[in-house]
Structure 1
Amino acid sequence: MNLTAIQNNYLLRLSLMLLGLLLANNTIAQQIVNGISLPDVLTLNNGTKITTAKQWKIERRPELIAFFKKEMYGQSPGKPAGVTYKVFDNDSKALGGKATRKQITVYFNGKQDGPQMDILLYIPNNVKHAPAIVGLNFDGNQSVNIDLAIKMSTSWMDKTKGVVNNRATEATRGIDAGQWPLEMILDKGYAVATVYRGDIDPDFDDGFKNGVQVLYPELQNRGDNFATVAAWAWGLSRILDYLETDKAIDSKHVAVFGFSRLGKAALWAGATDERFPLVISNESGAGGAKLFHFKGGEGTTRLDTKFPHWFCGNFKKYMGQDSILPFDQHMVISLIAPRPVYVASAKDDTNSNPEAEFWGAKAADPVYRLLGTSGLPANQWPALSEPSVGRIAYHVRPGGHNVTDYDWIQYLSFADKYLKKP
């Protein structure tokens, strides 16, 4: 490390130490949640308290969006101007006649040899103009169901069952079907749209050379670069762009869902794209719903060292400073308000720290209340399998890091309440 780097590191640590002292002396506005001091989501950077919905919308919300784009997620482009769609599969008798299956290639720059993603879409045949749930998947579209007509992903994959030389084989077909109970979702009247995460950005530190970032060189080599979680969130919005062109879908009623690291992306997509009227975060952990200030589970150091590509370069300056951060994830959840959001945990998922996820959701409650909604009714971490449901909903179930039928039953009930037309 050269002298300049040592000096910069010293100055950063000194400034963060002073920030901690200021927080301890109540100089910086705080909100107290379960005895933990958090930066107050309803206080502007200049110290002005937010007391009206208009102030939130015009002043505080834009301020927070700008902060998180600069310091954590990085900047993201808008809808690509040259995007085109190719529907290469349209089968009205899929899943035993229950659904219409469509597969669509999205060419982000309109070129068939350019960055692209494949959407797998199932639409219930007994519903006209169906609401939908969109989400990214971990192991390729073919992993969500044993349907042999689903196109095998050709994108790079990390090592998992059935992956050979970082490419999927037939052994990956249906391996994640338990996390995507398509028939249950379809029976409730919802379409399902999913895309493999690696189509948008492969999940390894490659200098952003193999994802959609290559289309936006101006957003790289800078502190607030277009990083992986932001790219995944951007991809979720691009799925919605297509659904807005499909007459079989009610594109005004599309929920965004994500599990684990993809839950981090779903929350950021919901925060930044207000077209999503409902957001579901399943065990999203650190950088998702979990509070950094709450001890236990993953923190900034693990995110910045093991997954340095997930967040922008500026985020690395906060490494190891979890307890004195000038921000936390309750602020990201608050950016979804007043739209409904469901945060869910699993008791044995210690990396995600289920209790810290609950308090992340609860700390967003003041914004939901300010905007005239019910917020999160629970005032303490709920018992196992006892959901607390308001405009913010939360449950913790037995078991570990996964998506189960129990989770989906709660999500679909929540969607019935808030997503479907009256």
Structure 2
Amino acid sequence: MVFIFRLFTFLALAGATLAQQDTAEDRCSKLPDKLILSKLTDPFTFYNKRPVRTKADWACRRAELAELIQRYQVGYLPSKSPTSVTGELLENGAFNVTVTEGEKNITFTAKITLPAEGDGPFPAIIGLSFPSITVPSDVAIISFPNDAIANQLGTSSRGSGLFYDLYGKDHSAGALIAWTWGVGRLIDALEKVPATKINAKRLGVTGCSRNGKGAMVVGAFEPRIRLTIPQESGAGGSACWRISDELKRRGENIQTASQIVTENVWHGAAFNSYTGQVGVLPFDQHLLTALIAPRAVLVEDNGGIDWLGPESVYGCQRAARSVWRALGIADRIGLSQPPSHNHCQLPEVSKPYVNAFIDRFLKDKEDVNTTVFYTGGDFKYEEKDWVDWDVPRL
């Protein structure tokens, strides 16, 4: 009888305890269905957790990010200038650039097309391979042979090209940063040869698709570029790795870090170790874009090609824009993302934006309005899922 009483008492107490737990849990907040485990990296906090409070701080944070992105993703630019760089203008606008490093030298040829009228010096757009944007008739075009500098013929082409002839096939640089080095040497030569009639202080860079990835990296790491116009650059360019991974998880047909390293050698070999865990990287592509600040960038995109990740581009560049906002110059970064159109074909709706950025930043027309952040996409992007920082006033 005593046993039965004790058993009844135990069960009664246990039931009361469980009821109390149920009541307590009812008062607890519920986890959301969608969890973002790794938000986009805060531009305004140093790696050591110190906050960015001034423009001088941003310059230091920028230098820190440039080091991190080279170390873990694109590979390193050579640490010192080459022994010599010379330029020679030939017939029909051919411009030979010869770079000497110690006892080695390489030569590559860019093609300069000057405006039909005027004496120059002219502002110029450097096109990786060639520009597929519409360039105004009073702006020179320089076609840059990036494939000669570093091949992009698949994963077997790592370490192949003129850059690696100088620095060795095992150099850490992927193709994108090798192209950046090449554009830097082109600018060195332009500065020394006034006969080109190019104003080397008024240069822009552009490229589309894979060359758009290159344009973004060139703009980020070559400070003499005043205007960067990456076109439909997707993964490795204007899209963020973290956002693209999440969209892939939801079923979108989108290029991710895991895929891109199986396609080509645009990034340094060190990046291969992180493509399946991009959330551990101390940066994302919004901070690659942010390296351009306070200079100007217009991201031209295509809202109708899923592989390019238009929603990822939109969210990524919104995050990047916070740096220009903090600097008080938000009209120096633009996004034009019309609905579907042919790949690398600049649609009519985008042409006024391109012209405005060129007018202001290459032709010094300061009164031109360059405020644009436009998408034709119907996205479910929510900034609170990805951004947990406040924008300071630097």
Equivalent position to 1:396, from 337, 344, 349: 337
- Report how far residue 209 of structure 1 moved: 3.6
- Report how far residue 62 of structure 1 moved: 1.0
Structure 1 contact 343–358 (Cα < 8 Å) conserved? no
Give the direction of change, closer, same or farther, for the CA distance of 1:180–1:277 in structure 2 (3 Å limit). Answer: closer
AA at the equivalent of 1:200: I
- Report how far residue 186 of structure 1 moved: 4.6
- Report how far residue 241 of structure 1 moved: 2.0
Q: RMSD of the alignment, in Å?
A: 2.6
Residue equivalent to 1:89: 91
AA at the equivalent of 2:314: F
Structure 1 contact 107–117 (Cα < 8 Å) conserved? yes
AA at the equivalent of 1:365: R
Give the direction of change, closer, same or farther, for the CA distance of 1:105–1:324 in structure 2 (3 Å limit). Answer: same
CA distance in 2 between counterparts of 1:254 and 1:350 reads 31
AA at the equivalent of 2:147: G
CA distance in 2 between counterparts of 1:396 and 1:180 reads 14
- Report how far residue 37 of structure 1 moved: 2.1
Structure 1 contact 135–236 (Cα < 8 Å) conserved? no
1:417 aligns with 2:353: no
1:273-294 per-position Cα deviation (integer Å, ceiling 9, x unaligned): 1111111110111111101111
Residue equivalent to 1:74: 75
AA at the equivalent of 2:364: K
Residue equivalent to 1:19: none
Residue equivalent to 2:227: 278
- Report how far residue 405 of structure 1 moved: 5.3
CA distance in 1 between counterparts of 2:221 and 2:133 reads 25
CA distance in 2 between counterparts of 1:124 and 1:221 reads 41
Equivalent position to 2:288, from 332, 337, 341: 332
- Report how far residue 131 of structure 1 moved: 0.8
Residue equivalent to 1:198: 147
TM-score, normalised to structure 1's length? 0.69
Higher helix content, 1 or 2? 2
Equivalent position to 2:261, from 301, 304, 309: 304
What fraction of aligned residue pairs are identical, expressed as a percent? 28
Structure 2 contact 201–224 (Cα < 8 Å) conserved? yes
- Report how far residue 323 of structure 1 moved: 4.8
1:365 aligns with 2:356: no
- Report how far residue 35 of structure 1 moved: 11
Residue equivalent to 1:169: none
5+ residue gaps, structure 2: 1-35, 249-253, 366-394
Structure 1 contact 299–320 (Cα < 8 Å) conserved? no
SS of 1:83's partner is strand
Structure 2 contact 110–142 (Cα < 8 Å) conserved? yes
1:130 aligns with 2:87: no
- Report how far residue 250 of structure 1 moved: 1.6
Residue equivalent to 1:119: 110
Give the direction of change, closer, same or farther, for the CA distance of 1:110–1:55 in structure 2 (3 Å limit). Answer: closer
1:227 aligns with 2:174: yes
5+ residue gaps, structure 1: 1-33, 91-101, 138-143, 145-176, 376-389
- Determine which structure has more spread, i.e. the larger CA radius of gyration: 2
Equivalent position to 2:95, from 94, 98, 104: 104
Mean CA deviation greater in 311-320 or 36-45: 36-45
1:242-281 matched pairs, under 5 angstroms: 242-247=189-194, 248-281=197-230
1:57-86 per-position Cα deviation (integer Å, ceiling 9, x unaligned): 1x2111101111111111112543233323
TM-score, normalised to structure 2's length? 0.73
Structure 2 contact 205–229 (Cα < 8 Å) conserved? yes
CA distance in 1 between counterparts of 2:300 and 2:133 reads 16
Structure 1: which 4+ aligned runs deviate by more than 6 Å? none
Give the direction of change, closer, same or farther, for the CA distance of 1:339–1:115 in structure 2 (3 Å limit). Answer: same
